[in-house]
Structure 1
Amino acid sequence: MDTFIAVIIIFGVLVAVHEWGHLYVAKKAGILCREFAIGFGPKIFSTKRNETVYTVRLLPLGGFVRMAGEDPEEVEIKPGYEIGLVFNANEQVSKIIVNNKSKHPEAKIVSVERIDLEERLMIEAYTDDEEGIQTFSVDEKCDLIVDEKAEQIAPLNRQFRSKSPLKKALAIFAGPMMNFVLAFVALLLVGLVNGVPQYDNAAFGEFSDNSPAKEAGLEQGDEVNSIAGESVSNWDEMTAVIQEHPNEEINVEAIRDGERISTSVETYSRYDEMSEQEVGMIGVQAPTDHSLIQSVQYGGTQVFEVSKVIFDTLSLIITGEFSLDFVSGPVGIYNYTGEAASIGIFFLIQFAAMLSVNLGIVNLLPLPALDGGRLLFIGYEAIRGKPVDPQKEGLIHFFGFALLFLFMLVVTWNDINNFFL
């Protein structure tokens, strides 16, 4: 698979699943979600379904769900404004036209005296009928049309800020949680289709092409007792002995259908980057189990192990042993994705699952602009009894985002030095 296509697909899926978690729980909590976006920057695709606009944007660097009430409303209609009103069959205002009223001849032009689009959902205004102030009821799904761009109003009970700290926290936590779920499901499917390696026994699984072990008469399912004169009881012990004998003839004693067999195998060598030396190989894989129970256990164990490695790496920040070489930016991930794709689709899926776990954990870090930072503010709100001023919180998140962006640039430059310079 082409590396670029693999990267786009993987990141698209990871971001979409993450943001879908936010979207689903937020909607269940009754929050109006204005936009579900994959990427940042200019829109290259847009479609509206129900109350939400779904967009794909030019820069594939993440995504977001824009919930009503997270930020102050962009349009404020003050007394004295002239606006156009369009009514539905129930005589409620279904559209409020701000600017370009001439393009809507069906609209009733009024001069606003008082307007409340959050709690009372009403407009008090003067009309051309010389009847004094009239009061108009506003539909809770009324569209506010500014310069021909429509956006649904958000009554207070549909806004993020009006919800309880618990509902807010669940809507924010759902994004990272879905990354863990995605990783588990992906690894579960790998286990079901490709099988879960069984390392408890020293047995043979599938043979590779031109396998020396197969040429020597060994078969899948043979249980090895000893190899090169050394007794072995599990896969790791067996492979460790084989690796010690590159390009050598070794004796293999095994059990097949209750009978003892013995044969000699000519190993070949492969350079091992971890040990930085040639190691012996006989072209055989570990036996696998395709059962549901084993696959579920494999998915859960792998998610736990990957999480443990990530937390161990993050702990190096506290000890002062952290290095930029421990992390990768877009360039590094692009390179590793290409390597994973060259090995095979199942390895690529496992790599994507690892990235999904990483995305979930990183997003939960208590840093501004990340989900963990937002959860920190919600926790503070729960203890304090009232939320932090939205403008102050927004400013903190803005600076946090700027610092994260700067860190990403530094990591990317480090990747370029490691891979290309």
Structure 2
Amino acid sequence: MSEFFHHIFNTLSNGLLGYIIPFLFVLTIVVFFHELGHFLIARWAGVKVLTFSLGFGPELIGFNDRHNTRWKISAIPLGGYVKFFGDESEASTPSADALAKMTAEERADSFHHKTVGQRAAIVAAGPIANFILAVIIFAGMALYFGKPNTTPRVDAVQPDSVAAAAGFKDGDVIAAIDGRAIETFADMQRVVSVSAGSELNFLIKRDGAELTLKATPALKEVKDLFGNSHRIGVLGIQYNAKPDESRSVPVGFLESIKIGFEQVWFIIATTFKFIASLVAGAGSAGDVGGPIRIAQLSGQAASLGFQFVVQLCATLSVSIGLLNLFPVPLLDGGHLLFYGVEAARGRPLSERAQEMGFRIGLGLVLMLMVFATYNDILHLAGS
């Protein structure tokens, strides 16, 4: 046991500075835009914003703007919050007594006295801002670097592989998978890698004709250049890029936006597919990571170059935006669930019911954090 913790300590110590700075950069950008979404729509709706905080806990540094909103950086950099007038806590929980005692002027500034639609828009603006940020980043990278020029061509089929059993042959070109157009070999790899155990329909171009092949990618554990293990789906086909296929192809502005939306949608679809596999018992809960894993990935991305840090930032932005939309009290999705119930009933849930919901939500979030951190520690021990 002592050797286990000694290994963890050495792993963290050796990469501490290399992990922390990129991690704080990535997390700060993602959290800032999430909270900025809440903030901007709240201001638009006429809500008085008391606090805009990056991080939790004691304030390290801050200032008041002309609207008397306190902008601050707090000691625990694992998130952030926007506190509105009328909120009892950072989680935007109301106090019925305090709300009842407000004057008409105060009610005009209070978040909890806005219409259901306005409150829902303010809450949803955080995750939406995360998605917009990701689209902008992915689109910007496509506009600057171009898109891959690789052809989704089969240059070799490994013996005794899934591809061999399915009937793939050298020279085949993959035109579509499950009706989705495939333009590059990287497109094909992305779809296959997240589809282990799921049968896919491949539209193949062969000798001027089209045919359909069915194949179920096999689950295989592979290591990246940092030694991290990943369980992905593989077919067993090989691609050898020609000289003219190794260069990126420039894209225009509109096409870059399209690429940005496609990348965001792919991450969302992949996330739901992963959750479905967990529910079905086919996925591995060990793949769920937390702050330590994100810090490690941030450091590794930084070692490859700034563009990889920015790409990780976009990916994490989508993940955090999507996570916040889950209907769990305490998260944005939980608030939206309560507002949906309020709209259907014509009146909000009782203060008691909301308090119980937030307690349950807090328990679920804490359990997820503990579980994810436990997985992170095991991952570090095996690295």
Per the alignment, residue 384 of structure 1 pairs with 345
Per the alignment, residue 272 of structure 2 pairs with 311
CA distance in 1, matches of 2:300, 2:357: 38
CA distance in 2, matches of 1:6, 1:42: 23
Contact 1:364 1:373 in 2 (8 A): yes
Go from structure 1 to structure 2 and tell me whether the alpha carbon gap of 1:386 and 1:282 turns closer, same or farther (over 3 Å shift).
Answer: closer
Contact 1:197 1:289 in 2 (8 A): no
Q: Does 1:68 align with 2:99?
A: no
Contact 1:377 1:388 in 2 (8 A): yes
Q: TM-score, normalised by structure 1?
A: 0.62
Match of 1:55 among 69, 72, 82: 72
CA distance in 2, matches of 1:401, 1:271: 35
CA distance in 2, matches of 1:282, 1:236: 10
Contact 1:180 1:357 in 2 (8 A): yes
1:305-324, Cα deviation, whole Å (9 max, x unpaired) = 11110111122343244532
SS in 1 for 2:57: strand
CA distance in 1, matches of 2:357, 2:223: 50
CA distance in 2, matches of 1:35, 1:74: 21
Match of 2:103 among 103, 111, 119: 119
For 1:3-402, list aligned pairs within 5 A. Answer: 3-49=19-65, 50-71=67-88, 72=94, 118-119=102-103, 155-200=106-151, 231=171, 236=185, 285-402=246-363
Contact 1:22 1:175 in 2 (8 A): yes
CA distance in 2, matches of 1:399, 1:231: 56
Per the alignment, residue 411 of structure 1 pairs with 372
Contact 2:290 2:369 in 1 (8 A): yes
Contact 2:148 2:184 in 1 (8 A): no
Cα distance, 1:342 vs structure 2: 2.2
Go from structure 1 to structure 2 and tell me whether the alpha carbon gap of 1:281 and 1:347 turns closer, same or farther (over 3 Å shift).
Answer: farther
Q: Give the aligned CA root-mean-square deviation in angstroms.
A: 3.3
1:347-378, Cα deviation, whole Å (9 max, x unpaired) = 22222111111111100000111100010000
Quick one: which amino acid aligns to residue 166 of structure 1? G
SS in 1 for 2:302: helix
1:52-98, Cα deviation, whole Å (9 max, x unpaired) = 1111111111111111223356997xxxxxxxxxxxxxxxxxxxxxx
Cα distance, 1:271 vs structure 2: 8.3
CA distance in 1, matches of 2:78, 2:38: 17
CA distance in 1, matches of 2:281, 2:349: 32
SS in 1 for 2:272: helix
CA distance in 2, matches of 1:64, 1:398: 18
Quick one: which amino acid aligns to residue 68 of structure 2? E
Per the alignment, residue 197 of structure 2 pairs with none
Contact 2:18 2:299 in 1 (8 A): yes
Contact 1:36 1:65 in 2 (8 A): yes
Contact 2:342 2:349 in 1 (8 A): yes
Contact 2:145 2:248 in 1 (8 A): no
Go from structure 1 to structure 2 and tell me whether the alpha carbon gap of 1:334 and 1:385 turns closer, same or farther (over 3 Å shift).
Answer: same
Contact 1:324 1:411 in 2 (8 A): no
CA distance in 1, matches of 2:133, 2:360: 30
SS in 2 for 1:367: coil
Unaligned runs of 5+ in 1: 77-115, 121-139, 141-154, 203-229, 241-269
Contact 1:337 1:351 in 2 (8 A): yes
Greater Cα offset, 365-374 or 319-328: 319-328
Unaligned runs of 5+ in 2: 1-16, 89-93, 154-169, 174-182, 190-221, 225-229
Quick one: which amino acid aligns to residue 330 of structure 1? P
Cα distance, 1:395 vs structure 2: 3.8
Q: Radius of gyration: which is bigger? A: 1
Q: How many residues align?
A: 293
Contact 1:196 1:294 in 2 (8 A): no
1:227-267, Cα deviation, whole Å (9 max, x unpaired) = xxx65768639x99xxxxxxxxxxxxxxxxxxxxxxxxxxx
Greater Cα offset, 32-41 or 310-319: 310-319
CA distance in 2, matches of 1:39, 1:271: 34
SS in 2 for 1:386: coil
Go from structure 1 to structure 2 and tell me whether the alpha carbon gap of 1:161 and 1:235 turns closer, same or farther (over 3 Å shift).
Answer: closer
CA distance in 2, matches of 1:271, 1:22: 39
CA distance in 2, matches of 1:388, 1:334: 39
Cα distance, 1:344 vs structure 2: 2.4
Higher strand share: 1
Per the alignment, residue 218 of structure 2 pairs with none
Go from structure 1 to structure 2 and tell me whether the alpha carbon gap of 1:271 and 1:2 turns closer, same or farther (over 3 Å shift).
Answer: closer
Per the alignment, residue 165 of structure 2 pairs with none
SS in 2 for 1:63: strand
Cα distance, 1:45 vs structure 2: 1.1
Go from structure 1 to structure 2 and tell me whether the alpha carbon gap of 1:30 and 1:383 turns closer, same or farther (over 3 Å shift).
Answer: same
CA distance in 2, matches of 1:192, 1:336: 25
1:141-166, Cα deviation, whole Å (9 max, x unpaired) = xxxxxxxxxxxxxx012111111110
SS in 2 for 1:313: helix
Go from structure 1 to structure 2 and tell me whether the alpha carbon gap of 1:298 and 1:118 turns closer, same or farther (over 3 Å shift).
Answer: same
1:99-128, Cα deviation, whole Å (9 max, x unpaired) = xxxxxxxxxxxxxxxxx97225xxxxxxxx
Contact 2:278 2:285 in 1 (8 A): no
Quick one: which amino acid aligns to residue 369 of structure 1? L
Higher helix share: 2
